[in-house]
Structure 1
Amino acid sequence: MASKSGLEIQRDLERFVSKWRSYSGSERAEAQTFLNELYAAYGTDRTAAGAKFEDFRTSAGFMDLHQPGVLIVEMKKPGRALEEAAEQRRRYWQESSDPESDVPAARWVIACNFHEFEIWEPGRFPNQPRVRFTLEELPDHYDALLFLQSESIEPVFSEHRRELTADAAKHIADLYVSMAERNAAPVDEMQRFTMQLVWTLFAEDLGMLAGYPLQQTVERLLREDDPDSSRDLGHLFKLLNQKGDQNRRGIYAGTRYVNGELFAQSDAVYMTRDELEHLKRASEFDWRQVNPTIFGSLLEGVLGDERRSELGAHYTHEADIMKIVTPTIVRPWRERIEATTTSAEARALLDELCSFRVLDPACGCGNFLYVAYRELRGLEAELKARVVDLAGRDGLPKPKDLPYYPLANMQGIDIERVAVRIAQVTLWMGHRQMIDRYGGAEPVLPLQDLSAIRAADALQVEWPETDAIIGNPPFLGSQHLRGTLGDDYVEWLSKRFRVGIKDLCVYWFRKAIDHMKPGQRAGLVGTNSISQNRARSASLDYVVAQGGVITDAVSSQKWPGEAKVHVSIANWVKKPTSSPETFKLDHRGAARGAEGAAAAARPAARVRARPRQHARAPLLPVRLDRHDGRRRHHRRQGAADHRARAAAGERLRVFGPGGVRRHRRRHALHARARGSTGVGAAVPAVAHDCLVHPLDVGRGSRGDARIRHLPARHRRRQLAGGRDDRAAGARPLDHRLRA
């Protein structure tokens, strides 16, 4: 089953809200239907996730829903106050652990009365909910419940203000388009001027520039018969790049030295009265509520492409960003934080965290970097709290002068200069917002140096030393490379990477694994060709060959954008000191042994045998015992039945020759093995032990399980013997399929 994107979840939740907004019945009548449909909106089958209704605990009674180790839900009838659930919440949570089975207490607790939600994290924040919102607000707060999609994804509790952000971005976009249409200045100057305006509007509402100098200047200009914006705004922007106090009087008295290269050039563009009106309306928004990542993504659609004149319609949802940030950054660090046992150990880990660098080599407007920075500031706060708690436990004085995570640790590369400017402004805005959320950090003014985010072709320049790599490389298909990039560039790609012409994202995967050091992690989004056919051999197979161990992967999901591409997501660690015991495919965990493989090889799994294997590959031995041409059988079999049979070690019937006539080599192999060309003829019990890459387990278009056999030369290599992969329990293809 393809993983749902954030946009798809949001749309399904809108339908969910439409159905349930008028419900006024009892709790008992519809609570289970309500929760089943809520799980389904996140693309999750409740029973497959292990969530149980009416789970009994001796002194606490029956929990309305319990997903062991993950979630408790306490439902109330519409109109009942959520505060009435407080005592039940507490008792249920206290009794939700099971030491004998090594199941911890549920991390999350939801109180809900059909029209309101409270999300609690009692183990860390026992005295107040992480967030509270109404049913109508659920689509905007969908990422607060991301644990319904997978317990491995961190929920996001920030206020997104998506509609407000989009409205603010529209006014700025209209202003820029108006200037561009009349050719008010060179494109580079207009782009820089627009970002100067955006940062100043934000800084005024956050109290970084006292007295609202920009807003006052615009209002004064609109009162004049012949306003000269280039003169007055030019003066303001020069003051923001001035270290001394000269000329800081009147409405400019609250200005300060900003620098950060943002105002190194004060590009004061002359604006018409209509453009000043756009700017005035933009200044009336509460910019404290604007989401920098959404704003930057939307605005990039205007500033980043001269051929477009409309505001961008798409942005990357944080639910999708967290599918990389959680396994590559948050989860490994949180595990290390929880493993500390002394204050000195935690303090040393804090120093290590504060030196941790993150690189996005295709950073665009900086939304991946913003989310990474926000989560690292959150980890810093957790670790500081642990330092203090452990010191108090051991009777030590409360530590002082603890370091903070520096903004300058964010690194990025993008080929578009305007995207780099947007990314820098996005992070400067985030820097100020995180101080409100997590406490003090380095001063916000002068602006912190973000020269580590630079404009360049990431494939042609050296990447900086870093500790983790994340990002979303361009989705340009191999068939479009010459028309978009030109013959010379495509020939250079072919010579530089020596894998021929592939989808553009493939080259980022290769460069990332080559750049990494042992123990470092990476997570990238790619077109789903990286898990298929020849593009896989140049990307994921190459990652594995260089020592990469995939820890989390999404086989296929839609990605928001005009291209409507389907993507695959891969997170890996390079040459770990000990191989992870589990991996997560499409948010489901599986052990790396045969039992985990059987659980992962669900019915409707598309299983591709790989031509070559490597000793370090995170491979799953899957046993496929019989072939049967009757595809109707698979349509009748339910998914749960197939999983149960696989887990019990039964033979799996897989898609046979009747449905693979397109693949003549495969058909010929089947015919040779059974000595007949009859479509429905049963094949004797021929054992196939095939090594399966985690991303090779996905859903076929018809729900049929199928296997592509190895070419003859590779079967001979396997039969020649002596590979390390056999130690994992896999065996070569049966000799009866020898070409």
Structure 2
Amino acid sequence: MNAVEIESAISDLALEPFDAAEFPFTFLAAFGNKETALKRLRAGNNNASDVPGGVLLRSNIHIAACEAGTVGETLKALRASPATTKAKAKFILATDGQTLEAEELITGETIACDYPDFPNHFGFLLPLAGISTIKEIKDNPIDVRATSRLNKLYVELLNENPDWAKAERRADMNHFMARLVFCFFAEDTDIFAGDGLFTRTVEQYSERDGANTHQLLSEIFRAMNIKLAERATAQPRLPSWANIFPYVNGGLFSGNTEVPRFTRMARTYLLHAGNLNWQKINPDIFGSMIQAVADDEERGALGMGWSEKDFPNLVKYADPVA
């Protein structure tokens, strides 16, 4: 598994209701451990943990799901455990479903966070999957989280709109995604007036099943290609919720404003992506990281041919004018 897939898996885990008995195994699965190995651990085979509620994977991690309010105490027990030392565990981790604490035993580096926030620290945990921690990911994991959410949206949209997966429409799909990324940046960097304007508009005015999301986005994109002085005579007339978006020069919103149809899940992925703080995200990473998610066969089937050269330099478009 690569970093984006791991982020996606642990983000899904953090959103699920906490199940103390299942957490260690679902956590290990998120880092690419085979079901056969997990089955043996579930059965008690190869699980040499000596801590209540503990699961120990040799040369990897000693995990314990514990009673509420005992996370710090349980982490100390894992650290002092003879089994931890004997199994040469690299990490220890304790959680009660409310908070989570972990430690890398070689360096002594630790994390402590609310349970729903632990995916924000996935870079710290990447060595569990045999991935040498990349400093850029560890220092700014939001780049990978954004890429993961964009990729989920991209694949879901291509599954729902197979015509957009064909080679002749690849440029249209990449152009659409570039427009989305601009909007995400714009609402977090004061290019758009109002906090979270784009994501909030989609959430408020689109149907939950995603049925009209493509129409709503198309109108927003159309508005950003019409100068304010010309909007009164624009035909068809702009909806009030689209009219509040600024005119953006540079050509990103010129031409065809067609948008692929959305499913309920595609709408959800779009909202999840929009809820990130895009001011902290580097736009240059998307092309290479999204391309790395799927293997060659999957990219060929889905028409995923992203590269850095396909992704516009968004800075030159970030110039709204009256």
Normalising by structure 2, report the TM-score.
Answer: 0.47
Larger radius of gyration: 1
Higher helix share: 2
**Which protein, 1 or 2, shows the higher relative CO under an 8 Å CA cutoff with sep ≥ 6?**
2
